[in-house]
Structure 1
Amino acid sequence: MGRPIDARGWIFEVEDTTPATPLWLRLNNINSWSYNPSEGEETADTTTNDSEGYHEQDVMQRGASLEVTGLYAVTNNVRDAGQEYVDSVWTYRFGSESRGRMRYRHKSQTEWAVWECTVTPGEQGGEHNAKTTWGASFTRCGAPTTEAVTGGTP
């Protein structure tokens, strides 16, 4: 029997395509996330008289979404690069330009799950004795891919 893994061990990154050589930016200060592997799923009812009263269906479309929430991050008056890219660049793209890439993995894994996806910015806010919140929702477009973990990413 395997051991459960810590939810805090997941790493989320977005691909910044604005430089000549695209680079991956980590989304820091995440304190909650959720993955929905059936977001956007569509089915076709295939029930007939031959089904003898039992429901039947075929999956016609699969989708997925991933939502991250955390705290708005600034260090030495410099905004967190990943959050800044989502909020100031990716969020303002439309049509085919609205698609980008994100990837995620647990720190114990040797491969990233990579999505071409769209992003929806999350709500930001807080009360007088709280820190400002930040978040984003990613909706996968097409099939996911994988890539090996390389370099200095923990």
Structure 2
Amino acid sequence: MGRPIDARGWYFEVEDITTPATPVWHRINNVNSWTHNPSENEETADTTTNDSDGLYEQDVMQRGATLEVSGQYAVTNGTRDPGQNYIDNVWAWRLGSESRGRIRYRHKTQTDWAVWECTVTPGETGGEHNAKTSWAATFTRCGAPTTQPVTTTPEP
């Protein structure tokens, strides 16, 4: 029987295509919660007929998925976290076909990244007077996922 893995052992990175000739992957830091929904945007067609003997039937017509990450708004020595900054100030402002980008994620024990072409929706930011500022983003997959071998260790 396998052992459960820690939810804190996942890495999330966004591809910065500001310089397309040399794209860079930025880790999204300060994540303290994440949710992968592999059935988001799924569409089905009802195929129930009189021959179904009163039992429901369907075919899946479309698959989709979302990945939501949330945590704390990150600044180090006055400099914004590169991953969060790219999402909030570059990617989130793109429209139309330019709104697509890539995210990759994996558990620290895995040797391949899951890679998505996706769009991003910025999440809410806020907090109360005795709390840290929150930050979040939701990625909606476009098309089929791919994989990519891990070639370097992510920055801490």
Specify the TM-score bucket, using the shorter chain as the normaliser: over 0.9
Q: Where in structure 2 are there 5+ consecutive unaligned residues? A: none
Partner SS state of residue 116, structure 1: strand
Q: Where in structure 1 are there 5+ consecutive unaligned residues? A: none
Superposition deviation, residue 151 in structure 1: 2.0
Provide the C-alpha distance between the structure 2 equivalents of 1:60 and 1:66, rounded to a whole number of angstroms: 21
2:107 corresponds to which residue? 106
1:121 corresponds to which residue? 122
1:37-87: per-residue Cα shift (whole Å, max 9, x none)?
A: 000000000000100000000000000000000000000110000000000
Provide the C-alpha distance between the structure 2 equivalents of 1:123 and 1:153, rounded to a whole number of angstroms: 26
1:4 aligns with 2:4: yes
Q: Structure 1 length normalisation: TM-score?
A: 0.98
The within-5 A match list for 1:128-139 is: 128-139=129-140
1:26 aligns with 2:18: no
How many percent of aligned residue pairs carry the same amino acid?
Answer: 75
Partner SS state of residue 32, structure 1: strand
Partner SS state of residue 152, structure 1: coil
Provide the C-alpha distance between the structure 2 equivalents of 1:34 and 1:113, rounded to a whole number of angstroms: 15
Provide the C-alpha distance between the structure 2 equivalents of 1:125 and 1:40, rounded to a whole number of angstroms: 28
Partner SS state of residue 85, structure 2: helix
Q: Structure 2 length normalisation: TM-score?
A: 0.97
Provide the C-alpha distance between the structure 1 equivalents of 2:106 and 2:153, rounded to a whole number of angstroms: 15
1:16-39: per-residue Cα shift (whole Å, max 9, x none)?
A: 000230010000000000000000
The within-5 A match list for 1:35-54 is: 35-54=36-55
CA RMSD, 1 decimal: 0.8
